[in-house]
Structure 1
């Protein structure tokens, strides 16, 4: 579960990490009042669960309460990276002498927490060359002791009071990581401001499976409306923003479908794992979800093991009989009861492919021609 920036900063502050003075607002009047309390120039920051807010115009500066209210009204009217802005964070503008990057996350391959740091923080951190990134694994039986902070601080070139402050901050960040069951805690940028280190931004992701013991952490729903429907149906569904709706049975088959479509130049609209053993009713609901993405074409890729090909075919026919399917449907159908499934499809005007890449290429051809 991802947390909004203001939520992460509230947690940081409660543990003793310095953050800019500010509060969350969900309307322009509250934003103006917060700016009045802070005084001076403030920053109005959109609160969405996505990055690149600055490049999208979701971060604005204001030198008066009135300007802060106007900026908040503008930002609250935005949709950034597909996310409707419903909250803003109004906080003081801080002096920035240098921007660093600091994060702790889980390295699945090493099966250990890893500290990632860089002296080149701020925007476009993903583009920083590997030689400017510091990585240190953490032995969970030992934790983050001062020597580890001193080593990372040395590699970042931090000395004097800033080096000491970094050595104080790092164990605190690791404590948050452990105590909040986080998958990620990130400060970008971690700002050097005079003799202080200030967390100018925050990103936190909490392990969904640990939420039952994180009662103090506010629950954040980050699914889209279609993703919520899929979740309620027990389906794994993620919107991707393309124009080819995809359904497959199994996570591996679903990922393979997306990769194959991309190989031929297609843009998948979603990830949908209909699961093994999904019957007519479940498959019908899955297809109806796909239609909500307004695709140019639907690509169904089934390798029937537990899932029966005739069930998939009957589900598609059931949807067709209940409502108009306004876009072409490309189907790859192989496996259990394959002959019956293919026969049902042909009797109802659908063509079935046997080879995945041929079906994927056809789906991309249709989408690109529309």
Structure 2
């Protein structure tokens, strides 16, 4: 679950990380202007898309909020506008903790080049410190970060407390990512978290305190496509709302592999669907999945099934029934392999499906359809 900024900052405050005074519009923080207004969206680079603006007072803030509420960020409108006190900024630092799945441990990240252009910062400007999960955060980690950032004295002491608090938050809240960009060093040497990006593990929700507003956040809800697929008894994952292709696959492992191959072929993937246990639940159930796919409007649908124990001809009959319920539009390609796959491919071919036995030729056919790239 990806929290919105104001929700992340509520968590930060709970763990003692300094944050600016702020409130969700129409409330304003109890401080004199000027204010910074921030669109609450789950997408990145909002600052470069007009999602962060400034206002001298409440009156100017009201007019600016109306303009921001009409903006679209990768198809998403702002769930709210957060009004925050402006900070007297001397330096901007990047600081984060993330799960490194290759090392299988948390990694502490720090850069002296924080702010909206962090993605363009040189790779060697980012410090990466793996943290042993058994030993935890140690003093030498904090000292290394302070040296890398060139902070000392009062600022160094405050930085140390922020790093400790971030690590405590990650462990206690089962976070996959806690990021401050930027961590502001003010003119008087104090550090303040000017932004908050927090991603929590959904599977651990039962053992942590609720985050205020998270249940109402668009960032915590599945998309309309994902909801429709879930209601059909399958699992849908939206990759890019502007994509061209939806892949419907017969298992989670094959779904991930298919997505990797499609992306490697530089095909623009809209979403992927794992049929899971619904793969042989009947044509009516599969028809509901097809309805969700049709509603998403892909220019091509790729059905990829590799059946180890179930029969391919049974799946083929269900696909034909589902196609009668909700005809897939655009180009439809089917890769079918496994038990009785010859019979299944013959049935689908007779119904006009573009059918393949092996994955390679199917991907090549999609790649050659230049209008989809």
Question: TM above 0.5, one fold?
Answer: yes
Decide whether aligned partners of structure 1 residues 21 and 248 sit closer, same or farther in structure 2, where only a CA change above 3 A counts: same
Kindly state the Cα deviation for residue 202 of structure 1 after the two structures are TM-superposed. Answer: 0.3
Q: TM-score, normalised by structure 2?
A: 0.90
Distance 1:147 1:295 in 2: 51
Query: Paired residue for 1:106?
Result: 99
| Distance in 2 of aligned mates of 1:44 and 1:332 | 50
Per the alignment, residue 227 of structure 2 pairs with 228
Equivalent-residue separation in structure 2 for 1:350 and 1:139 (angstroms): 52
Alignment deviations for residues 106-132 of structure 1 (CA, whole Å, 9 cap, x no partner): 222222222111111112323333322
- CA distance in structure 2 between the partners assigned to 1:2 and 1:323 by the alignment: 33
Q: For 2:277 and 2:10, locate their aligned partners in 1 and report how far apart those are by CA, in whole Å.
A: 42
8 Å CA contact 1:38–1:91 kept in 2: the answer is no
What is the distance in 2 between the residues matched to 1:125 and 1:155?
16
| Residue aligning to 1:119 | 112
Q: Report the alpha carbon displacement of residue 265 of structure 1 after superposing the two structures with TM.
A: 4.2
CA distance in 1, matches of 2:16, 2:153: 20
Trace 1:303-314 onto structure 2 (pairs within 5 A).
303-314=306-317
Quote how far apart the aligned CAs of 1:3 are.
1.0
State the distance in 2 between where 1:78 and 1:166 align.
35
Offset of 1:367 from its aligned partner?
Answer: 6.3
Displacement of 1:231 after TM fit? Answer: 3.0
CA–CA distance in structure 2, aligned partners of residues 141 and 260 of structure 1: 36
Shift of 1:24: 1.6
Q: Taking structure 1 as the reference length, what is the TM-score of the superposition?
A: 0.90
1:237-275 deviations in whole A, cap 9, x for unaligned? 222231122112223422333344344442121122223
Where 2:87 maps in the other structure, the secondary structure is: coil
Is the CA contact 1:246–1:290 (under 8 Å) kept in the aligned structure 2?
no
What is the aligned partner in structure 2 of residue 18 from structure 1? Answer: 18
Query: Which range is displaced more, 129-138 or 182-191?
Result: 129-138
Q: Secondary structure at the match of 1:89?
A: strand
1:246 counterpart SS class: strand
Out of 116, 131, 138, the residue aligned to residue 138 of structure 1 is: 131
Q: Find the residue that maps to 2:336 and give its secondary structure.
A: strand
Q: Tell me: CA distance 1:153–1:323, structure 2 relative to 1, closer, same or farther (3 Å).
A: closer
Which stretches in structure 1 are left out of the alignment for 5+ residues?
none
- Taking the aligned partners of 1:136 and 1:168, their CA distance within structure 2 comes to 17
2:55 corresponds, among 52, 62, 65, to: 62
Partner of 1:74: 67
Q: Is the 8 A contact 1:311 1:341 kept in 2?
A: yes
**How much has 1:55 moved relative to structure 2?**
1.2
Shift of 1:198: 0.7
Instruction: Tell me how far 1:337 sits from its aligned partner.
Output: 1.7
Gaps of 5+ in 2: none
Query: What count of residue pairs does the alignment treat as equivalent?
Result: 363
TM-aligned CA deviation for residue 138 of structure 1: 2.4
CA RMSD of aligned residues (A): 2.2
